[in-house]
Structure 1
Amino acid sequence: MLSSRKLHILQELMAAKRPITGNDLADKIHVTARTIRNDIKELHVILLRYGGMIKSTRGVGYELIIKNSKAFKGFLQEVLNNSTINTMLDVPEDRVLYILRKLLLANNYQKLDDIAYELYISKSTLHKDLTEVKRIFNLFNLELVSKPYYGVKVKGNEMNVRFCLAEYLFNRKEIVLDMQSQMQDVLPKDEINRIYTIILEEVKDNNIELSDIALNNLSIHFAIACKRIRNKNYVLLPPEDLEAIYTQFEYKVAKHIVERVEESLQVTFPKTEIAYIAIHLLGTKKMANISVNRHEFEGFVESALRDAIKEFIMLVDERLDLNLTEDNELFIALGLHLQPTLNRLRHGMNMRNPMINEIKRKYPFAFDAAILSREVFREKLGVDIDEEEVGYIALHISVAIFRQKKKQSIKSCLIVCATGMGSAMLLKYRLESKYSNQLYVVDTINYYRLNESSMEHIDFIITTIPIEKEFPVPTILVNTILGTDDLLKVESYLQNSYENKVDYLREELIFLHKDLLTKEEVIKYLAKKMEENGYVNHLFVNSVLEREKLSPTSFGNLVAIPHSLEPYTKETFLAICTLKKPIDWEGSRVQIICLLSIGENKTSELKTMYNHLIGIIENKTKVKQLLSCEEKDEFINTLNRGL
């Protein structure tokens, strides 16, 4: 009934509290404003038949009007229940997903003519989509084989087929606790519910602690196993891999779960399949309490992993100067998290991270620290940590940084007041009441005593009279009776936002509306300009490209922040480029590139810089303003207002 694009437009109109412009819709859906206008016209005609319409007001935007609530609700229900291919025609990504699912779930060859007919696309379009399908299959060591007059079929290790199914059969971007609608292509709803209930009861009875995501994933893998076994597709594990599994407590639990599922679903699991489920349990179990004693911790976390975690934290401190080596809470948290992760990785099992994009966008500094785990664990443990696992490690690093910041967040000040002790104390109590967890007033003094006061542990001075003499700390001039403007001044100093953000910019390193077409082209262009201006040497660009290989630095909302693996300059600064058109940056659309050069021993600056940039990334209006700037002065002023 509705294409995926029109359905997306309808969702945006329903969610909007006020009229939404065609340009805003185009940005959200990643199409041109002209495409939006055409789709709106067609959608309006459809809605007229079901109690709705789209009101268009020049200069204001589009608004959904519902005249017959009952008819419109019926229409929505029909749209939600409609699982026909017509909802997938417009977007190549959706077609690829459909083809992946079809081929993975099929037990026989599938004719390309039939797939093209189902999708209402030409053979040439189908062949373009199949190129992406083959690329995804390659990631799982699977092959798409063809046979004349029969069609195409997936070929490869059964476990890899199941991993691919688990990754692409359901929503990979969100945590979905209700799997019924997502898994209905695999098993009937009642069977999925029975599997979930059996697993939940057994892990509770056996005191195996699973997160909601882990429980969800295990249920999904179990459902896929049932589907594949019914089609006579079995996991074949080498005998030497199974010997250690059979003696594990998790194998006994897996066997009991399997026995109940077999009885409930009338399916028979071979012994190797039980081991496969046991590996899942080994790869998801965790200790529920982080306050474990040393004996319990060492009994759960193997010594090689403990040593690798210590080396990883030391490397983070060496590269980023975070002072986390003495953080015992971080060490324990990483151990409890990574031991089951290690169990999974040794058996080649994947683990979704539905928060990965949010983690990269909200905690880029912690993510950069977590990336260092890859080289340590590869060298010390012989395992490869992928981007999604890095995301989980980044969360633990973020908690440690927050914990450290909390200890250091209270700032100290002196109050200088010329009107007497009464007004000085009033100022002190007002500030301490307003900022009880952020500010400590060391003393209230007269101006003439200021020269005698030590500034060693003072962050700034708050004064009710102008002070011309320079001191080693900033001074804030306020009124004795604090007003709103006075409070804003104090808050800006508490948040370190008094720094001059223009210092991070270099006018000669700002390039607007460039016609560059690829990620590599942009990085090489900016790095070359930095080198020509004497900021970096020729090694800088390779370091940036190597960092990009570890994990793409596109953070959403058309912004990417590439940077080097290590410092190449004394100061922290940016080279910035805007593009005429967005480019593909590992699956994300990017039009503003901020190439960040990290200064030597400037970790505090780096964290501040990241915070400023993330503030811009999350402000769509600011990004639009930056993209529209024609002159460097205008760009700097616009950027500085957002920093």
Structure 2
Amino acid sequence: MEKVGVEFGFDNDYTEFRFREGGARMEKKLVPLTVCLKECGTETAEALAGKLKVSTKTIRNYIKEWNDWFDGYGAQIRSKHGCGYFLDIADQEAFDSRLKQLTARTHTSGQVPSTSEERVEYLLNDLLSRRDYVTIDALSDILYISRKTISADLKEVEKILEAYSLKLAKRPNYGIRIEGTEFNRRLCIANIIIGKESEALAEGEAEHQENMTRVARCVAEVIDTENFTVNSVAYQNLIVHICIAVQRIQENCYVPLDEERQERIRRSKEYRIAQKITERLNQSFAIRFPDQEIAYIAIHLAGKQSLFLPEQERTGEAGGQVISEETWEVVSQMLDAVYEAFLFDFRSDLELRMNLAQHIVPLAVRLQYNMKLKNPLLKDIKARFPMAYAIALHSSSILTERYGHELKDDEVGYLALAFALAIERQNTELPKKNILIVCASGKGSAQLLHYRYRQEFGSYVGRIETCDVSNVKKVDFKDIDYVFTTVPIQEKVPVPVQEVKYFLESADIQNMKKVLRRKGGDDVPLMAYFDEELFFSHLKFDNPHDVSKFLCHQVMAVKGLTDQFWKLVVKREKAARTAFGNLVAMPHPWKAISEETFVCVGILDEPIRWGDQDVQVIFLVSISNRKNKNLQAFYQGMTKMLTDADAIGRLIRAQTYETLTELLEKSENQNGG
């Protein structure tokens, strides 16, 4: 059977062997002999003979041939009396180089997968192409590895298949094969390929290039004529999916769709476009696309038509797209969730609503059919817009709840772009500050100051409140941004305080205007959000629930919060993942309930599995329920450190608060803080 990997850009097919006459027949066994000795350490001739299914005399011939092959390359097979044979490698680099030459001579592809990652890729490619069973022994022989090694690789294969609702079926005396729908099988094939497609196109065979070109030509002719927009990021993905469809149809493998779903798809404009594309494909490849395969192409067109990207902003490329009441309601829920968690109020931002709604229409299709889309901007988005990415990740929990599939990082990145633009629009309009004026005593003097401040700073301030110094402790500071006082204040207040003179001089006025012009509120150093009381090292937990519960209860004790804090963290964790990557998780409550922003840090002695990632450092974040928080600078500084592998590695090794302090200061300095 011809392998999908060859057609679509994987490494060459590894399943056929051709050996030269004479010495090459013996060379065929030298690689598995190497594998046996590397895995076993020391092995007797009898044991090696049993594993390679030859006589002990033949084993000794193999060892002689092996030593001749590696002579001068830093390795020999030696024997130890009473123990057996073992590998003696003096020069690892020379040995590895010579071993690659050996595998190339005994294999038509020129290269056998040598790492676990390469073998997993090969196994997926092979098993997805098969209808029949294959034994593990057969795969072991093909890949020159032991059953133990291939069993470990197959566990990784099963994890990947699970993401596509596919499973590895095992049948005694028959072997293994992949079971699941043709639709999911194609999605898995395509998404393995898409990650390597640019490399494949550069190195692929002429036939592969020709197939891609023929499909692309058929698609381009139709979408140009019909004025149907497919974003450039999604276009290559679409071509790959159609190429796979062509090949699978040639192999008599079809996507089954029930009549009700087909009828619903037939009423869409994408189906009409798909019909025209398949008419050209039928002619180009001399095949016939049945109705269900036309519907399959239509589904992919619907999932890739409109993406929110900067190049599309306000160009009307999604014109004619119908936004349903359901989609509009989903957007409203997303913006409500963002307000609850971050107190960023985008609910009246019509442009953001339209951008999100237009993006969610095709996104809903991708989520419904578990279609994945690469985001080439993802790394830059995370680095440049960490606040927007955090907001997008939180709001994505609404989509997960509505459509039943968790968004991958690539999709979250697209949402983050929309929020990044919305944040930028908010920042271009200087937010007015609410201030409290404190004087020594006397209502008359306070009102005089109120009048003077309104006169001098009217364009910078929203609400002005006044009080005398004895009543400061009674003030609700929830919506107060700054305190200006003519006398020293003994009470600790949760907002910046600036002492001013009763009679404002020109220098005072200029300084106050500088303060009020700040877009993000006060310039709080990153370290101010951390407290040694909330730093816990050398923790020993084996699951996210237990370590989160421990940290939450420490927070509740130190900050005087109720168990609602813990419940809201659990709610957020259930809604969407909080593993950040780089061995870091950043859990937080579903909504803001604390009066101040703070971070609780926990470091584990050993990493644990947190969703689909390993985590060893937990930053439990609580955002203040006060408005006008300097969250942009906070997330920017945090992201610098959280994405720095060296910094996190150093923190894990040291596990001290002093190390955390140094890393935070370094991150803030790099961020221009």
* TM-score bracket relative to the smaller structure: 0.5 to 0.7
Pair 1:242 & 2:267 matched: no
Pair 1:169 & 2:189 matched: no
Q: Where does residue 31 of structure 2 map in the other structure?
A: none
Q: Where does residue 421 of structure 2 map in the other structure?
A: 399
Question: 144, 151, 161: which is aligned to 1:120?
Answer: 144
Shift of residue 270 of structure 1?
A: 1.6
Pair 1:338 & 2:363 matched: no
Residue type at the aligned position of 1:284: K
Q: Where does residue 161 of structure 2 map in the other structure?
A: 137
Structure 1 residue matching 2:305: 3-state secondary structure:
coil
Q: Where does residue 188 of structure 1 map in the other structure?
A: 208
Q: Where does residue 426 of structure 1 map in the other structure?
A: none
Q: Where does residue 123 of structure 2 map in the other structure?
A: 99
Question: 536, 540, 548: which is aligned to 2:573?
Answer: 548
Q: 2 CA distance for matches of 1:252 and 1:102?
A: 35
Q: Where does residue 511 of structure 1 map in the other structure?
A: 536
Shift of residue 566 of structure 1?
A: 1.9
Question: 386, 394, 400: which is aligned to 2:407?
Answer: 386
Alpha-carbon spacing, 1:320–1:246, altered in 2? closer, same or farther (3 Å):
same
Shift of residue 214 of structure 1?
A: 1.5
Farther-moved stretch of structure 1 (579-588 vs 251-260):
579-588
Q: Where does residue 173 of structure 2 map in the other structure?
A: 149
8 Å contact from structure 2 (residues 522, 630) kept in 1: no
Structure 1 residue matching 2:304: 3-state secondary structure:
coil
Structure 2 residue matching 1:301: 3-state secondary structure:
coil
Alpha-carbon spacing, 1:533–1:44, altered in 2? closer, same or farther (3 Å):
farther
Residue type at the aligned position of 1:211: N
Farther-moved stretch of structure 1 (493-502 vs 520-529):
493-502
Q: Where does residue 68 of structure 1 map in the other structure?
A: none
Q: Where does residue 183 of structure 2 map in the other structure?
A: 159
Alpha-carbon spacing, 1:93–1:603, altered in 2? closer, same or farther (3 Å):
farther
Question: 284, 302, 314: which is aligned to 2:324?
Answer: 302
8 Å contact from structure 1 (residues 360, 391) kept in 2: yes
Q: 2 CA distance for matches of 1:95 and 1:547?
A: 37
Pair 1:284 & 2:304 matched: yes
Unpaired runs of at least 5, structure 2: 1-10, 12-87, 434-451, 462-484, 490-495, 501-513, 669-673
Alpha-carbon spacing, 1:120–1:454, altered in 2? closer, same or farther (3 Å):
farther
Residue type at the aligned position of 2:129: L
Aligned-residue CA RMSD in angstroms?
4.4
Q: 2 CA distance for matches of 1:521 and 1:125?
A: 33
Higher RCO (C-alpha 8 Å, min separation 6): 2
Residue type at the aligned position of 1:98: Y
Q: 2 CA distance for matches of 1:596 and 1:40?
A: 52
Pair 1:203 & 2:252 matched: no
Alpha-carbon spacing, 1:316–1:509, altered in 2? closer, same or farther (3 Å):
closer
**In the TM superposition, what whole-angstrom CA distance separates every residue of 1:235-276 from its partner, at most 9, and x where no partner exists?**
111111122333433323222222222222233322211121
8 Å contact from structure 2 (residues 400, 576) kept in 1: no
Q: 2 CA distance for matches of 1:401 and 1:258?
A: 43
Residue type at the aligned position of 2:137: D
Q: 2 CA distance for matches of 1:362 and 1:167?
A: 27
Question: 598, 605, 612: which is aligned to 1:573?
Answer: 598
8 Å contact from structure 1 (residues 290, 332) kept in 2: no
Residue type at the aligned position of 2:584: V
Q: 2 CA distance for matches of 1:634 and 1:306?
A: 47
8 Å contact from structure 2 (residues 89, 95) kept in 1: no
Alpha-carbon spacing, 1:177–1:233, altered in 2? closer, same or farther (3 Å):
same
8 Å contact from structure 2 (residues 340, 590) kept in 1: no
8 Å contact from structure 1 (residues 371, 550) kept in 2: no
Structure 1 residue matching 2:594: 3-state secondary structure:
coil
Q: Where does residue 230 of structure 1 map in the other structure?
A: 250
Q: 1 CA distance for matches of 2:392 and 2:525?
A: 29
**In the TM superposition, what whole-angstrom CA distance separates every residue of 1:340-399 from its partner, at most 9, and x where no partner exists?**
2234445554444455566456544434433455564577x6664633434322221122
Q: 2 CA distance for matches of 1:451 and 1:307?
A: 43
Q: 1 CA distance for matches of 2:563 and 2:432?
A: 42
Superposed, 1:445-456 pairs within 5 Å as 454-455=456-457
Q: TM-score, normalised by structure 2?
A: 0.65
Q: TM-score, normalised by structure 1?
A: 0.68
8 Å contact from structure 2 (residues 568, 590) kept in 1: yes
Q: 1 CA distance for matches of 2:499 and 2:541?
A: 46
Q: 2 CA distance for matches of 1:190 and 1:120?
A: 33
Pair 1:216 & 2:240 matched: no
8 Å contact from structure 1 (residues 576, 593) kept in 2: yes
Structure 1 residue matching 2:429: 3-state secondary structure:
helix
Farther-moved stretch of structure 1 (299-308 vs 197-206):
299-308
Q: Where does residue 42 of structure 1 map in the other structure?
A: 92
* Identity between Structure 1 and Structure 2 (%): 28
**In the TM superposition, what whole-angstrom CA distance separates every residue of 1:191-220 from its partner, at most 9, and x where no partner exists?**
122212322232222211111222111111
Shift of residue 222 of structure 1?
A: 0.7
Alpha-carbon spacing, 1:266–1:495, altered in 2? closer, same or farther (3 Å):
same
Q: 1 CA distance for matches of 2:432 and 2:92?
A: 58
Unpaired runs of at least 5, structure 1: 5-37, 51-74, 412-449, 460-466, 477-488
Alpha-carbon spacing, 1:520–1:85, altered in 2? closer, same or farther (3 Å):
farther
8 Å contact from structure 1 (residues 283, 344) kept in 2: yes
Residue type at the aligned position of 1:219: I
Q: Where does residue 62 of structure 2 map in the other structure?
A: none
Pair 1:89 & 2:89 matched: no
8 Å contact from structure 1 (residues 89, 120) kept in 2: no
Structure 2 residue matching 1:404: 3-state secondary structure:
helix
Question: 493, 497, 522: which is aligned to 2:547?
Answer: 522
Structure 1 residue matching 2:355: 3-state secondary structure:
helix
Shift of residue 281 of structure 1?
A: 1.5
Alpha-carbon spacing, 1:408–1:44, altered in 2? closer, same or farther (3 Å):
farther
Q: 2 CA distance for matches of 1:211 and 1:304?
A: 24
Farther-moved stretch of structure 1 (163-172 vs 467-476):
467-476
Q: 1 CA distance for matches of 2:358 and 2:244?
A: 28
Q: Where does residue 59 of structure 1 map in the other structure?
A: none
8 Å contact from structure 1 (residues 200, 215) kept in 2: no
**In the TM superposition, what whole-angstrom CA distance separates every residue of 1:496-543 from its partner, at most 9, and x where no partner exists?**
784243321111111234454544443233223323435443343443
8 Å contact from structure 2 (residues 641, 663) kept in 1: no
**In the TM superposition, what whole-angstrom CA distance separates every residue of 1:290-340 from its partner, at most 9, and x where no partner exists?**
5489xx967632333233323432443344322212222212212222222
Alpha-carbon spacing, 1:611–1:292, altered in 2? closer, same or farther (3 Å):
closer
Q: 2 CA distance for matches of 1:452 and 1:607?
A: 29
8 Å contact from structure 1 (residues 177, 216) kept in 2: no
Structure 2 residue matching 1:146: 3-state secondary structure:
strand
Q: 2 CA distance for matches of 1:540 and 1:548?
A: 12
Question: 274, 277, 281: which is aligned to 1:254?
Answer: 274
Pair 1:609 & 2:613 matched: no
Q: 1 CA distance for matches of 2:541 and 2:94?
A: 38
Equivalent pairs, count: 513
Alpha-carbon spacing, 1:355–1:556, altered in 2? closer, same or farther (3 Å):
farther
Q: 1 CA distance for matches of 2:379 and 2:567?
A: 25
Q: 1 CA distance for matches of 2:320 and 2:218?
A: 32
**In the TM superposition, what whole-angstrom CA distance separates every residue of 1:448-507 from its partner, at most 9, and x where no partner exists?**
xx9998456569xxxxxxx9988977699xxxxxxxxxxxx99x9788784243321111
Alpha-carbon spacing, 1:99–1:541, altered in 2? closer, same or farther (3 Å):
farther
8 Å contact from structure 2 (residues 302, 365) kept in 1: yes
